[in-house]
Structure 1
Amino acid sequence: MKKRGLLTVASAATVMTLGGVGYAAHRRGKNPYYRGPKSDHFDGLRFHTANQPPDKSLADLARWRRTGKPEAWPANFPSLFPADKPPERVEGFRVVLIGHASYLFQVAGRNILVDPVFARRASPFRFAGPKRVNPPGIAYADLPPIDAVLITHNHYDHLDGPTLARLWQDHQPLIVAPLGNDVILRGYDETMHVETRDWGESVDLGAGITAHLTPANHWSARGLNDRRMALWCAFLLTTPRGVHYHVGDTGLGDGAIFREIRVRFGPPRLATLPIGAYEPRWFMQPQHMNPADAVEALTLLGADQALGHHWGTFKLTDEGIERPVEALAEALTATALPPERFLALRPGQVWEG
């Protein structure tokens, strides 16, 4: 494949999926997505966490490509579970992994999608970038009526614009996203209505369910020039069936974001946490937990149950396809937690509680 500077087209697509590099954003003075007052996490141009690590540079990327030891993935990695055909409504609490970080949450009679990605590639390109190695765990045609869609951030493995435009036309759901992401979404369908909120704010999803936007140790980008110009988040759902904490992507950091969830909302009934895309650690640690980090997050939260995602569908980083499951088992053993307390989900796998 022909080189484009330091990157091949395929590796450029992977970098943009993961959030680009930070060099260009620092040289530009205009935010294309959001204009608002400065705050403790917005400087007027870019969003940031309390202890925002330095953005990775092209030199860091070149070092990763030069020194990394990526394990090969199979072209196909079929799920152990058949594609789910969810019921139209559930009064209890039902969760199914669609794939990677995409879920359907059915609770208290409401159907909520989070970060729905049905595309063949998690990439800005149709011909290059991370490609699915298993089909979605729910076929699009088998989705029940969708009441709400939650978007954690704008990386391509979490924000699939064409799918969201299709969902809008087919279901007219309430779409909730962090600040600035409405501009991106309306680029796929100008009629789309998006409720944007800041960290610490919330949206009523109906049926006694509220989505609270909370901080995550991550960042955002759709390309190489818009680093951290749209906000990212985790979601805390208060529901008639208990508290559910969902993280699309985050680093563990000092653990403060998880301690604060427990203090503010109490130990969650369920935590859905990322466990993949973590090698090499020197590059990924600030923004992606590994399984040991995820187990520590579970401990800090005190959640009754954890489900693991962000592994086994798109090859984004260097670890082998089954390494997250192996490392999760080791981390649970090391902390004397029973394996059923933290399950690494596969597409189509259902949890009910």
Structure 2
Amino acid sequence: MNRRTLLKALALPALAATGAIGWVKAARATNRYHQGPVTDHFDGVRFFSPGQPQDKGFAELLRWQLGETKKDWPESFPSPFQDKPPAEVAGLRTALIGHASFLIQVAGLNILIDPVFSERASPVSFSGPKRVNPPGIRFENLPPIHAVLITHNHYDHLDIETLGRLWREHKPRFVAPLGNDAVINAGHPEILVETRDWGGSVEIGHGIHVHLEPAYHWSARGINDRRMALWCAYVLTTPQGTIYHIGDTGFGDGKIFHAVRERFGAIRLAHLPIGAYEPRWFMEPQHMNPEDAVKVFNIVAPQQALGHHWGTFRLTNEGVDEPPQELAAALQTAQVSPELFRPLRPGETWEASPHFG
């Protein structure tokens, strides 16, 4: 068995969930998702984060999969919470559906970010990372959905089956970074997707503007499309304050977080990822650990932070409940009250007063 076949046999399902199967080099001729001018983060074929590390090579991928110890995960890790959200919220309410999927209800609008309701975060239904807990909101209990925001195209964030169902039942507006419209339309050509570059924005009604901001991450759906679609974080400016949602990012040099604070000022609520970070030598450029997330908290200084991206799909090497434990330790070291930065379980909610400010 050659090394490529061995890697596929051992690791392909898990790697596919985060897009890490995109290590195969593709021809530079064309980008099948996006055609546009060269910019400071697009070379005409691939997107990149200026000044930050990019792709890991095949040898590093093999080293991770064959040479690192993975903590065992339980087959079931049920959450004690199950949310049944109201149809409308005048103020600000957010609920974790699971992993990186959120329902944000603000100023009368209902917004989903990276909704994944499928059993697996995988390109196939019979293999790949499987849920250890059900969605914290049943699909049937969703309120009317007005907008769906996609941060990037990895399988644990962009679930084609879920997006098709949302379109059929709710007809929401879809917003995504450049190139992700092609990914979505390949499965559902009927879905209308509004795409923007970093720094772009979309007004979705009720005084809410959605801003696409940089993240230190990457993208891939298959073996030859690495970084051909853009990725992003979102800032939502709303009548109830500013919300900062990061799907996936490394900490890197920290400049993107300082830029958000400088551009948008006071942050009411931040969704910060705290999981999928081991082994550190491989994951550091693309996924924050809890210590990194606390550094971001101190930079953007939100009134409230909520931790996500842990405890639903096994993607990396840490244990299922290590992220909240390490977050608690990092908060203690930084002398930050744990009430200000809470790790959420699926179905858990946080609600602010409708009279912000």
Q: TM-score range by the shorter chain?
A: over 0.9
State the shift of 1:79 in Å. Answer: 0.3
Using a 3 Å threshold, how does the CA distance of structure 1 residues 315 and 86 change in structure 2: closer, same or farther? Answer: same
Q: Separation in 2 of the partners of 1:54 and 1:116?
A: 26
Cα offsets for 1:280-320 (capped at 9, x unmatched): 00000000000000000000101111000000000000000
SS in 2 for 1:113: strand
SS in 1 for 2:237: strand
Q: Which residue of 2 aligns with 1:170?
A: 169
Q: Which residue of 2 aligns with 1:56?
A: 56
Task: Say if 2:37 is the partner of 1:37.
Answer: yes
Q: Which residue of 1 aligns with 2:238?
A: 239
Cα offsets for 1:242-262 (capped at 9, x unmatched): 000000000001111110000
Q: Which residue of 2 aligns with 1:5?
A: 5
Cα offsets for 1:64-111 (capped at 9, x unmatched): 112211000000000021x21100000010000000000000000000
Q: Separation in 2 of the partners of 1:137 and 1:254?
A: 34
State the shift of 1:10 in Å. Answer: 6.1
SS in 1 for 2:187: coil
Q: Which residue of 1 aligns with 2:272?
A: 273
SS in 1 for 2:128: coil
Cα offsets for 1:198-222 (capped at 9, x unmatched): 0000000100000000000000000
State the shift of 1:9 in Å. Answer: 4.5
Q: Which residue of 1 aligns with 2:182?
A: 183
Q: Which residue of 1 aligns with 2:66?
A: 66
Alignment of 1:1-353 (within 5 A): 5-9=5-9, 11-21=11-21, 23-81=23-81, 83-353=82-352
SS in 2 for 1:298: helix
Q: Separation in 2 of the partners of 1:209 and 1:90?
A: 14
Moved more, 238-247 or 7-16: 7-16
Q: Separation in 2 of the partners of 1:212 and 1:10?
A: 39
Contact 2:12 2:21 in 1 (8 A): no
Contact 2:22 2:220 in 1 (8 A): no
Which amino acid in the other structure matches residue 46 of structure 1? R
Aligned residues: 351
Contact 2:34 2:179 in 1 (8 A): yes
Q: Separation in 2 of the partners of 1:234 and 1:25?
A: 26
State the shift of 1:52 in Å. Answer: 3.2
Query: Which runs of 5 or more structure 2 residues have no equivalent in the other structure?
Result: 353-357
Q: Separation in 2 of the partners of 1:209 and 1:25?
A: 40
Contact 2:22 2:221 in 1 (8 A): no
State the shift of 1:23 in Å. Answer: 4.1
Using a 3 Å threshold, how does the CA distance of structure 1 residues 287 and 301 change in structure 2: closer, same or farther? Answer: same
State the shift of 1:133 in Å. Answer: 0.1
Cα offsets for 1:18-68 (capped at 9, x unmatched): 222554345442111000111110000000011231411221111011221
Contact 1:115 1:149 in 2 (8 A): yes
For the aligned residue pairs, the C-alpha RMSD in angstroms reads: 1.4
Q: Separation in 2 of the partners of 1:22 and 1:133?
A: 26
State the shift of 1:8 in Å. Answer: 3.8
Which amino acid in the other structure matches residue 165 of structure 1? G
Contact 1:22 1:57 in 2 (8 A): no
Q: Separation in 2 of the partners of 1:319 and 1:278?
A: 7
Contact 1:47 1:230 in 2 (8 A): yes
SS in 1 for 2:20: coil
Contact 2:152 2:230 in 1 (8 A): yes
Q: Separation in 2 of the partners of 1:103 and 1:131?
A: 19
Query: Which runs of 5 or more structure 1 residues have no equivalent in the other structure?
Result: none
Q: Separation in 2 of the partners of 1:24 and 1:7?
A: 12
TM-score by length of 1: 0.97
Q: Separation in 1 of the partners of 2:61 and 2:207?
A: 45
Contact 2:26 2:225 in 1 (8 A): no
TM-score by length of 2: 0.96
Amino-acid identity (%): 59
Q: Separation in 2 of the partners of 1:168 and 1:56?
A: 35
Which amino acid in the other structure matches residue 69 of structure 1? T
